[in-house]
Amino acid sequence: MLYSQGFAAEGFETENLVLYQPDDVLKQRVPSVNALGDYFKKIESECQNFLAKETEASRLVVVVAVKPGKQSKIWLIPSAAKAPKLAELQKKLEALPAIDVYGGPFAFAICGKIAGGNPAAKAEDGDGPPIPQEWKDAVKDSKEGVRIPEGFLAKVWPDQPGWTPPADKRPKAPTEFVTQVLEPLGGKIQKPKDWHYQEGHRKSTYMWTLSVEDSEKGPYVTGVRIQAFVGIQKATGKTAKEFILDFIKSKKDNAAVRVVSTCEEKDQGIFSRMCLEIEEGPNHILYSLFWGNEADIAVVSIAGTSEELWHIYAPTFDKMNKFELMDMKRFEEKKEK
């Protein structure tokens, strides 16, 4: 995937930005497009400052890989025979604070020109994404196709056994909560103080989203979404319980899903509840599923985050899953009026 953009610069000028993974992977692993843009600008600025006085025309590709825990690694592909002393630039770029990514590595390349670019320069100007020589050397004996960039990174930058992010780079579990009212039903949930809250209701469906990332700006990684479906029988021909049981079956039958745990049906008065905890792709999700014992209503609560963050946020999700969907006193008072 290639995005072209011109940037006027002295010494170094960006020609285009190459993303090594498709949009669906980008959205899962890098939920904040703004953070990615800021990171790119910092790398570009460092290149401009370092190469500002270079006068030999050439090209330079900066390949960037980021892993969960804000780990970053840089590869430089110069075209000039007498390239600038790039080892120092590489160290400067790797010292920049990386972005948060989730569920696996993310990679991109900045393709640029030095002192106007060319003459007769290559620096990875082929049909595919730029591949550093170290990557090529690492898989030269492989008899199977190599997935870009994951297959290369597994060889040149493998995960260390038992590695965990440094304490200052690890997300912290919320410690302060506030009571969030779930309008218009008047229910209540304990929301981490700094999390975002959004509503999205339609005629027979209510939806509330509480998340670390702002869900109005794009997909979120960590959060809880509650959906209440009213009039299930009329809409689907199923009872609310049948609707929930079919939902659970569809998840269990999905080959991409690994079931972690389940809980049996439990009568909670107005509602009955079941739960299903799964791993699906890079995500770890806990479904809390309810149906009305008398009312024709089904509720699906989805608490999820990336697999590597699950142990951090699981206690938060447990606290949030004790929500009340509606304020019964409010509806009783309406009836009396």
CATH class, 171-336 region? alpha beta
Per-residue pLDDT at 266: 94
Pairwise CA distance, residues 190 & 179, whole Å: 5
Tens of pLDDT, residue by residue over 226-284, are 999 999 998 899 999 999 999 999 999 998 899 999 999 999 988 999 999 999 877 89
Whole-model pTM: value is 0.61
Tens of pLDDT, residue by residue over 154-209, are 999 987 765 566 665 567 889 999 999 999 999 999 999 999 999 999 889 999 99
Tens of pLDDT, residue by residue over 207-228, are 999 999 888 877 888 999 999 9
Per-residue pLDDT at 9: 42
Q: What is the DSSP string of 115-142?
A: TT--SS--SS-SSS----HHHHHHTTT-
Confidence class for position 315, pLDDT limits 50, 70, 90:
very high
Confidence class for position 7, pLDDT limits 50, 70, 90:
very low
Cβ–Cβ < 8 Å for 281, 305: no
Domain spans, the chain: 2-166, 171-336
Per-residue pLDDT at 103: 76
Query: Which residues contact residue 208 at a Cβ distance below 8 angstroms, ignoring those fewer than 6 apart?
Result: 182, 189, 197, 198, 199, 200, 225, 226
Per-residue pLDDT at 128: 79
Per-residue pLDDT at 115: 86
